[in-house]
Structure 1
Amino acid sequence: MKNEMDSKFILSIFEKIRENGEPKGEGHFLAGVTAFSDFDGYTIFMEDQLVKLRFGFHNQYHFDYEKDEHMVQFEKKLKAIDNDY
């Protein structure tokens, strides 16, 4: 499965989770997705139980998941956050 996601979309969702989510460890949790950043804020992470997204310098990102269906569900969660918050 080809994963292409707009960088502005990713950053927007990250900010919505930070603003509206519940604090959880070093990050925030909203609608099934946890978002956090590294110590300097240059790399951000968003994840659920089955998919991990790392977004960093020069708008490069990487998804880590086992099955395409996991990625589809993760994208649905991100779109729901975008629409609901």
Structure 2
Amino acid sequence: MKNELDSKFVLRVFEKIRQHGEKQGDKYVLNGVTAFTDLDGYTLFIEDATVKLQFGFHNQYNFDYQSQAQFESFEKKLRQIDRET
């Protein structure tokens, strides 16, 4: 996920969070990871307490985090969700 974000992976994890997570308003939470969309549904957001991923139309994406360790922890959580659910 560092240089090239696998769009299929992101979409798969997002859907697993929606299917298996706890609904909290317009958001879904699973294993400390929150997933939601903007109003039109074209932009997906996946985040935990320290990292935010914005994934949008034409596979454009943006990560927001303070340290590489935070990013690696976030990536590990996403991979774990993908494997376990």
With the shorter chain as reference, the TM-score category is: over 0.9
The alignment status of 1:6 with 2:6, answered yes or no, reads: yes
Q: Which residue of 2 aligns with 1:84?
A: 84
Identity %: 60
Report the more deviating stretch, 18-27 or 2-11.
2-11
Equivalents in 1 of 2:74, 2:34: separation in Å?
Answer: 11
- Residue 54 of structure 1 aligns to a residue in which SS? strand
Normalised by the size of structure 1, how large is the TM-score?
0.95
Report the more deviating stretch, 56-65 or 2-11.
2-11
- Residue 63 of structure 1 aligns to a residue in which SS? strand
Report the more deviating stretch, 44-53 or 18-27.
18-27
Normalised by the size of structure 2, how large is the TM-score?
0.95
Instruction: Give the aligned residue type for 1:71.
Output: F
Q: Which residue of 2 aligns with 1:51?
A: 51
Shift of residue 24, structure 1, vs aligned partner: 1.6
Equivalents in 1 of 2:4, 2:65: separation in Å?
Answer: 15
Equivalents in 1 of 2:13, 2:3: separation in Å?
Answer: 16
The RMSD of aligned alpha carbons is 0.9
Q: Which residue of 2 aligns with 1:40?
A: 40
Stretches of structure 1 lacking an aligned partner (at least 5 in a row): none
